Amino acid sequence: MLDLYKIMGVYHAFKFRQRMSDEKKNWTGNIQLGAKTDLNVVLNQLCKAFNSCPFFKHSGMIMRVVDGHIEGYVEMQPDLIGNLAFQVLHGGVAATLLDSIGGIVAMEHLYRRSTPETLPETIKQVTRLATVDMRVDYLAPGRGKYFIARAEVLRLGRKGCTMRMTMVNDEDKAIAAGIASYAY
């Protein structure tokens, strides 16, 4: 029986690696090396990759391109309420949306500064990008029909970046703000 478990473990590890390889293609599938690539194609591909994440699907979060830039969006739902007495958005949802928008906008800016010669390295950076540190300030209770998150680059270096993120509600009231560092 032990041998069967070992075989199944190897099989599942293989399938996991194969799935991760397929996921990596989602991040870079429409990019042709050495060719002039329309940035909107790249941005939409990044959004598609984020939106295919099971957690994003479960929570209703989406990334979208608006006016040539990526923003995060989530509608208020009963499942996302963090305080039943006050009926406000859970702070973890706000933090997740801020972290995600910081990461995807960092990826956007890596592609923006890329050239055809540096594109292979940029793709590696994008696929390795990970949150190193994040701080969130909750500015107001999370009330609203929907919430939008945006991010801006504070510093974009060779091995990492620092981003500033904000989240507003449907009335454009600031709900949360954050600063995060990402390594790639």
What is the pLDDT at residue 22?
A: 58
CA 160 to chain centre: 16
What is the pLDDT at residue 18?
A: 60
Determine contact, residues 175/159, Cβ cutoff 8 Å. Answer: no
Q: 3.20.20.140, 3.40.50.2000, 3.10.129.10, 2.60.40.10: which CATH number matches 2-183?
A: 3.10.129.10
Determine contact, residues 131/180, Cβ cutoff 8 Å. Answer: yes
Q: What is the pTM of this model?
A: 0.81
Query: Mind listing the pLDDT tens digit for each residue in 106-125?
Result: 999 999 999 999 999 999 99
What is the pLDDT at residue 39?
A: 86
Residues of the chain predicted below pLDDT 70? 1-37
What is the pLDDT at residue 33?
A: 42
Contacts of 27 (CB under 8 A, 6+ apart): 45, 46, 49, 123, 126, 127
Could you give the CA distance from residue 64 to residue 47 in angstroms, rounded to a whole number? 6
What is the pLDDT at residue 159?
A: 97
What is the pLDDT at residue 38?
A: 81
What is the pLDDT at residue 25?
A: 52
What is the pLDDT at residue 184?
A: 97
What is the pLDDT at residue 66?
A: 96
Could you give the CA distance from residue 100 to residue 131 in angstroms, rounded to a whole number? 9
